Structure 1
């Protein structure tokens, strides 16, 4: 097995389902090693027969003698670095009970090729991240990480369909009234360059673009994952990052960055809220966001958690690594301009919150100061 190939275990007592899954997996990743097990009680022996420990373990839930959630709990103790996915016929009801540090993904039954592609990509990308073994073990121990909301998966799948329209996305968003209202509000933002007001959700989605809609949906719809965090605090944090995201979009436009880069920076800014929300949910104080777990030397805990979750959600290594770089450079002419623009937007937002705009502007290099002042001059 090559160094880039992963070892995947698939456990299901249904022989026909096991063979069908094996064929699909081997077609999707022909160079990977797949171990198929139909007796859940023998999964550890099967894993030990392969020199390379499994990076991804997928198990059906309902099996005799050993259920899938218990099997994955064993796997989390023996192979703490592994990614673990549970297949169940009722993801909606069981997700809150079964999702914990032992289970990273809930896959529907019957599953689709898209479901497997998402999990395989995430496992592959996570292996590429610059995390030490100790860091990966700490991340694997965290329970109840926010899962990608089903509505987001539906929006993603809708976007990928060639025949899909803006109206199709609008119909999905309409199922979440608070999200729909926030998108209309953003579509009237002066910072984002919109001068003519609209109350139409479809027009709002057209203005914002599908990438921005997906990002806003992500941070708003994950609220259900945070059971200990006061909903008011959650909303305040979301509002802060939405404010910062508007500023990052204005900055990237003023710097004449390509449209795709502007969208990436906007998404990155919003996604940074996830790391902060998770740490607060786990009991961190606001001044402990950098070293609450001490995941990885040189990286802030909130950014490590954020990048880890984004990989699990299926986002790119490039996006996750850009988030990790935040704060390392502040030169807008540097090669990592996405991380630098995001940091500048966050500092700008914080200066407004603390009424210290003049002090903030004086602290900036002349180039950065001129860019912000030009945006302020053009904003009503």
Structure 2
């Protein structure tokens, strides 16, 4: 299927260079160019656009304003910022409007990979209403008490990055957004950050204050706080148990960090559905297996695919996206490892084994006989409670 790509920049020479660069993709992509926001919106009224790539600083309507309008009118369109202005204030302003952030100069290979990565799960998430819901998701609800704890800590004369990291790591929404931002090229990292404490320390206080206090990336109040509290507690249990499993299996510390982050984000699809009002039509029970069947009957997809699609278009590291997508059925994943096994097992154990564990996958990794030891880890965590 041909992808329709729209490139927006106020400089004609950059548009011309982009057209030349994209010629090698003419069989897979239809590429259009617009010299400014108004022209881009006019073109989108006449053409269905899969991906819009916009410069940030343009006269008149800038990139953030353009992509905000696009998110409201065309939520299924993937929105990417490509800018030569790599300051953190600009990144903080763009984070609500864009799915991904690329910096100039950007190689054709990197641009192509970013576009393909953003759309790689579109074939999995076939429901157009869910695609619109995910594509239009700029904010996810955060627990009010965690939000206010974070605000209060940031207002201290000497805020503690360690305490901030602990607060953020307890909240799925904040974790997802900060990982999205820190892994964008605005920060010039040559490696992916998958540990939320590393991300908080790298961002520093000024950027965190800008994110939380100035532009309110995180929703500070939601309905059904008790439901959201249960969700975050479950996510934190899965994350903590997944990390403990990896450490017991003598995985590398980076793998254990990845398992923790993936465990925290594994059910982010529930948060998207909750925020979009989709959960109102589901039965009010906690039987995970029945809920999964009901989701697929209603929409043809389940929350795992919804969450993975969101993380994918947000540019979250691919291994974490894969774990979110296949945490219920890891044997369906083309690639995997101990972190996927750990998150899957932790999810099943934390749900009191309401659905069968994927023994086929554990056997593939030679881990099926380790399950009783993981159950003991879970029981210990239940008794003492999860702590960071």
Q: Give TM-score, length-normalised by structure 1.
A: 0.56
SS of the equivalent of 2:127 reads: helix
Report what 2:313 is aligned to.
312
Report what 2:165 is aligned to.
180
C-alpha distance 226-32 of structure 1, shift in aligned 2 (>3 A): farther
Shift of residue 48, structure 1, vs aligned partner: 11
Q: How does 1:34-53 map to 2 (within 5 A)?
A: 34-38=31-35, 43=40
Q: Give per-residue Cα distances to partners, 1:188-226, cap 9 Å, x unaligned.
A: xxxxxxxxxxxxxxxxxxxxx963225996xx9899533
Verify the 8 A CA contact 2:125 2:309 in the aligned structure 1: no
C-alpha distance 340-133 of structure 1, shift in aligned 2 (>3 A): closer
Whole-angstrom CA distance in 2 between matches of 1:213 and 1:249: 13
Gaps of 5+ in 1: 148-172, 186-208, 352-358
Report what 2:5 is aligned to.
8
Q: CA RMSD in A?
A: 5.5
Shift of residue 311, structure 1, vs aligned partner: 1.1
SS of the equivalent of 1:343 reads: helix
Number of equivalences: 302
Asked if 1:277 corresponds to 2:274, the answer is no
Whole-angstrom CA distance in 1 between matches of 2:92 and 2:339: 39
Asked if 1:245 corresponds to 2:239, the answer is yes
Asked if 1:264 corresponds to 2:258, the answer is yes
Report what 2:373 is aligned to.
371
C-alpha distance 23-295 of structure 1, shift in aligned 2 (>3 A): farther
Verify the 8 A CA contact 1:215 1:267 in the aligned structure 2: no
SS of the equivalent of 1:371 reads: helix
Verify the 8 A CA contact 1:264 1:319 in the aligned structure 2: yes
Q: Which has the larger radius of gyration?
A: 1
Shift of residue 307, structure 1, vs aligned partner: 0.6
C-alpha distance 246-118 of structure 1, shift in aligned 2 (>3 A): farther
Whole-angstrom CA distance in 2 between matches of 1:293 and 1:363: 19
Asked if 1:131 corresponds to 2:123, the answer is yes
Verify the 8 A CA contact 1:91 1:107 in the aligned structure 2: no
Verify the 8 A CA contact 1:9 1:35 in the aligned structure 2: yes
Q: Give TM-score, length-normalised by structure 2.
A: 0.55
Whole-angstrom CA distance in 2 between matches of 1:249 and 1:65: 45
Shift of residue 325, structure 1, vs aligned partner: 1.7
SS of the equivalent of 1:211 reads: coil
Verify the 8 A CA contact 1:275 1:306 in the aligned structure 2: yes
C-alpha distance 72-239 of structure 1, shift in aligned 2 (>3 A): closer
